[in-house]
Amino acid sequence: MLNKYARAFFTRVLTPFAALLLRWGVSPDAVTLVGTAGSVAGALVFFPRGEFFWGTITITLFIFSDLVDGNMARQAGTSSKWGAFLDSTLDRVADSAIFGGLAMWYAGKDANDLLCAVALFCLASGQVVSYTKARAESLGLPCKVNGLVERAERLVITLVAAGVAGLHTFGVQYVEWLLPVALWVVAAGSLVTVLQRMLTVRREAFEAQAAEAGEVAA
């Protein structure tokens, strides 16, 4: 849902900024690299120290590069398979840093092994969600299902909860519980999404096999 509606909205909002960067001679690949570096730095510098508010602010500022770089490539007419590959690969890097940073916090002082495990599960399941679609498409299967929780949902739920929970350090009470709840929601939603995609690909694979058998019989 967020990919369908929110991405279109922010693409329109960020189009003038993307055009400005192109006029300055900035390449889409450079925006992708800087955005990933900023997101990774924000996650691994702030989150392991429990500074969730500032970590979220930093990550959010850089994560919009995921919309800007593609916008720039389309405006410049330079969209390419390499750019799509780079963008998708570095998205996985940024996601790993975010959930890895949270896992480091829960594994550190005042350790909570359960929440550390949940954060690691969010990290791993997010990678599997992406892999299932990529692997299906490499086999010639469309994987015509997005699923309950895609990357946009994972990031919005986690970062909003982390940012609000981080207000606890400014004296706001009863908000620190939001992050653990968000991690459980993302973990459950990611698991459902993996199962949705696996079942869809299973159906598509059997349908493709049946079609091939029908062609041979004909």
Positions annotated as catalytic residues are: 91
Burial zone of 9 (CB within 10 Å; 0-12 exposed, 13-18 middle, 19+ buried): exposed
| C-beta of residue 201 within 8 angstroms of C-beta of residue 136 | yes
> In angstroms, how far is CA 195 from the centroid of its own chain?
18
